Structure 1
Amino acid sequence: MSDINADAWVSSGHRPMGFPEFVVVIASIMALNPLAMDMMLPALPNIGSAFHLEVANRPQMVLSIFLLGFGVGQFVMGPLSDRFGRRPVLLGGMAVYCIASLLAIAAPSFETLLLARALQGLGTSATRVIAVSIVRDCYAGRKMASVMSLAMMVFIAVPVIAPSFGQAVMLLAQWRGIFIVLMLYGVAALIWSALRMPETLPVSERKSIAIRDVLGAFRQTVTNRQTFGYALAAGGVMGSLFAFVFSSQQIFTEIYHLGHYFPLAFAAIAVGVAIAGFLNAKIVGRVGMRVMSHTALVIFVAVAGTMFAATRLHMLPLGLFMPLAALMMFAFGLMMANFTALAMEPQGHIAGTASSLYGSITTLLGIGIGATIGQDYDGTLVPFTTGFFLCTLAALGVVLMVEKGRLFRPHQFVIK
């Protein structure tokens, strides 16, 4: 992207912001979600101890309940933004996020903490849906994929540094201090968006939120082969990632005995996503979304198969697990931006609702898969690697059906 004049990429839809600021703002509001997820990873054992949780896997609910609120919330955020515009829904969602962070800080019980986490997830559902919708309002096709990749490059540092940041915060203020940081970041993002983000959906293009119309838009989304197919594939891929995230603290501390070095190991693996975002932004405009994402999917399947076989043969030491996990993250980074762009490409006329339903399908499917695999953790890598392998095979099968058996097609083609 460095060879492209940023001024040529400025859309009238996001003026007066220039292109660089637009990308950074989009990345900042999208980062609310991964920040709230990954900062919590090193805190899970402390939360379990603070609330005297007897079931070892139960602290994972701090992550899964957050994602449940995130997934369910997306059902309504898209239609609301298509009716009332992007700004009010975006700002309202961020306000809910900040209030939920306050509730988490003062939570007297584990159940109250889970309620706060569900509300945080609900708030970030608005930021995710609206961010994608705003990008779709302003850009289309490969340009949209490039913008999404650039936004991912800006906020991709979040999962890399968030666990270490969370560990550092806990040294000063215990686990509740993490929610203070989350609240302050949410307030800063809210103020920036309120001051700088324009409304990108003209009044003339707004949709009705009558039940019949919303259901009609949902029907258009799920009956589009390309949109629904890539949503299902992304859900399977995301389920693999969620399974890894939910189990990562236990995997690194209990199986590989890394202790407090766990955040560093997680950061080293997450670098793969950053590299993927940079690579995708540089070349997706030349080679196309399908070539990039299908290549990444094949890599994902190969990594999953290798992990599965190595686990069964009891030959998956940390020295092999780390590069395989980094390659998994690299492939994930290439897939998700392009899967999202491919799914949204035919839905410009109902971008908010389509983004909403796409996000709900991928997130809820991912949560169901990831939580199931995570709760099956038994002190070994067998549940994770088995689930990972099955999910990737299913995702590959769905993409093959969507593309009618033809992968790596370089040209753009909207499947009806």
Structure 2
Amino acid sequence: MTTQPINPRPALGEREMIVLMALLMSLQAFGIDAMLPALGQMASEMGASGNDRQFVIGAYFLGSGIGAFFPGAFADRFGRRPVLAIGLVSYIVLSLACALVTDYDVLLALRLVQGISCAGLSVVPAAIVRDQVGGDRMARLMSLIMMIFLLVPILAPAVGQGIMYLAGWRAIFGAMAVVGLLVSIWVWARLPETLQEGNKQDIKVGTILRNMGTALTDRGAIGYVVGSALVFGSLFGFLNSSQQLISETFGMGNYFALIFGGAVVGMVLANFTNSRIVERFGARRVSHTALIAFIAISVVQFISASQAQQPLAQFIVLMSLSMAMLGFIGANFSSIAMQPFFHIAGAASSAQTALRMSTGAVLGAVIGGLYDGTARPLAVSMLSCALLALAIVLFSEHGKLFRRVSN
């Protein structure tokens, strides 16, 4: 289903929309993944010890989850562009503020605030896509968006490591501000308003709570929201502890960016493949198959991690395969969960993103905090989260997987 923009800007072509939505979401990823190589140096300079270094990532994740509750309602009332503008300005200003702090607790507070105020950058792109398409076509577009988006986790650690060596870790925050400014200019110049006048919602507490409640109580949707929160929570656990795992457990700190980027390549290839097959086979069939495969890979990862000395090659191959399965799960679960909510796409995206991000952030922090010098806690967590995700998806599907539902 298509809509007409309500301002003079011409509608974006499909390719430009995909790239721009991916870049908006990528700002969040860059703000996380570019930090990873610098966590050890950052913690040492500011006096943080042990697993506390992970809080620079965890605070941002948590803020993004909390903040995601708010932008959708405003985007449903005032439009998508104003909410994006607030998020982009906050991203730029708070990145510069983080570059200047000297106290670790203040840095964590700023990262939390940044996550909250920039949450619209994660919420609004899905609403913009849902304004224009639905069903398996939305899943295809979201897969292409995710494919481009995932280039950032591949490149950002190397970019962050290079910036750190050349100008110190504070310059990474400066780079975030510059990238945010460039994306802001593109949004201002090219992005039309996609919210239809007839779909505007009142800014009333009752209306907001009703719309969000609808998005989180629909049986057919909630399993996919919670399911993705669980499996991506295990991914957040890997992100939180990846610097320690790669640098300390496997002693490959100098190759962190290369190893981390290699693990993410599988997600890029999976999203590209998903974009080619999802309209043929359906989002449910593809994502259910991927979830079961994720469980099987997690079992093998647990066996591998239980060895006295787990080989690095085994860890990377299995993590790459797991992340590839997440590439088939993420866009499809999100599209299935958003399908019933065209008329309240902003509130639905807000509520669902908030639940996914806040749950994932808490799980990621817990999983990261379990780091004990081995990959075993991560492997156990991935398997446990995936089994719980399968159970909740079965609840949404009334016990039947692999169904093809008409759009």
**What SS does the aligned partner of 1:57 have?**
helix
CA RMSD of aligned residues (A): 1.5
Paired letter, 1:29: L
Does residue 29 (structure 1) correspond to residue 42 (structure 2)? The answer is: no
Of the three residues 177, 180, 189, the one matched with 1:183 is 177
Counterpart in 2 of 1:389? 383
Counterpart in 1 of 2:189? 195
Of the three residues 18, 36, 40, the one matched with 2:13 is 18
Does residue 136 (structure 1) correspond to residue 130 (structure 2)? The answer is: yes
Structure 2 CA distance for aligned equivalents of residues 367 and 84 of structure 1: 29
**What SS does the aligned partner of 1:314 have?**
coil
Structure 2 CA distance for aligned equivalents of residues 159 and 362 of structure 1: 19
Aligned-pair CA distance for 1:120: 2.4
Any conservation in 2 of the 1:71–1:363 contact (CA below 8 Å)? Answer: yes
Counterpart in 1 of 2:36? 41
Of the three residues 326, 334, 343, the one matched with 1:340 is 334
Aligned-pair CA distance for 1:202: 2.2
Any conservation in 2 of the 1:145–1:289 contact (CA below 8 Å)? Answer: yes
Does residue 357 (structure 1) correspond to residue 354 (structure 2)? The answer is: no
**What SS does the aligned partner of 2:202 have?**
coil
Counterpart in 1 of 2:323? 329
Any conservation in 2 of the 1:94–1:123 contact (CA below 8 Å)? Answer: no
Any conservation in 2 of the 1:290–1:338 contact (CA below 8 Å)? Answer: yes
Paired letter, 2:346: G
Does residue 246 (structure 1) correspond to residue 240 (structure 2)? The answer is: yes
Structure 1 CA distance for aligned equivalents of residues 401 and 284 of structure 2: 7
Counterpart in 1 of 2:314? 320
Aligned-pair CA distance for 1:218: 1.7
Any conservation in 1 of the 2:38–2:164 contact (CA below 8 Å)? Answer: yes
Paired letter, 1:41: L
Structure 2 CA distance for aligned equivalents of residues 148 and 128 of structure 1: 13
Aligned-pair CA distance for 1:266: 0.5
**What SS does the aligned partner of 2:341 have?**
helix
Counterpart in 2 of 1:116? 110
Any conservation in 2 of the 1:32–1:124 contact (CA below 8 Å)? Answer: no
Cα offsets for 1:284-307 (capped at 9, x unmatched): 111110011111101110111111
Aligned-pair CA distance for 1:227: 1.7
Any conservation in 2 of the 1:93–1:122 contact (CA below 8 Å)? Answer: no
Paired letter, 2:237: A
Any conservation in 1 of the 2:3–2:194 contact (CA below 8 Å)? Answer: no
Residues 313-322 or 298-307, more deviating: 313-322
Does residue 75 (structure 1) correspond to residue 97 (structure 2)? The answer is: no
Aligned-pair CA distance for 1:119: 2.7
Of the three residues 367, 385, 390, the one matched with 2:361 is 367
Counterpart in 2 of 1:166? 160
Counterpart in 2 of 1:281? 275
Q: Unpaired runs of 5+ in structure 1? A: 1-8
What TM-score results when the alignment is normalised by the length of structure 2?
0.96
Structure 2 CA distance for aligned equivalents of residues 10 and 182 of structure 1: 34
Any conservation in 2 of the 1:232–1:361 contact (CA below 8 Å)? Answer: yes
Structure 1 CA distance for aligned equivalents of residues 201 and 281 of structure 2: 35
Number of paired residues? 404
Cα offsets for 1:178-212 (capped at 9, x unmatched): 00110000011111101111111123321012111
Does residue 291 (structure 1) correspond to residue 285 (structure 2)? The answer is: yes
Paired letter, 2:107: L
Structure 1 CA distance for aligned equivalents of residues 381 and 159 of structure 2: 29
**What SS does the aligned partner of 2:242 have?**
helix
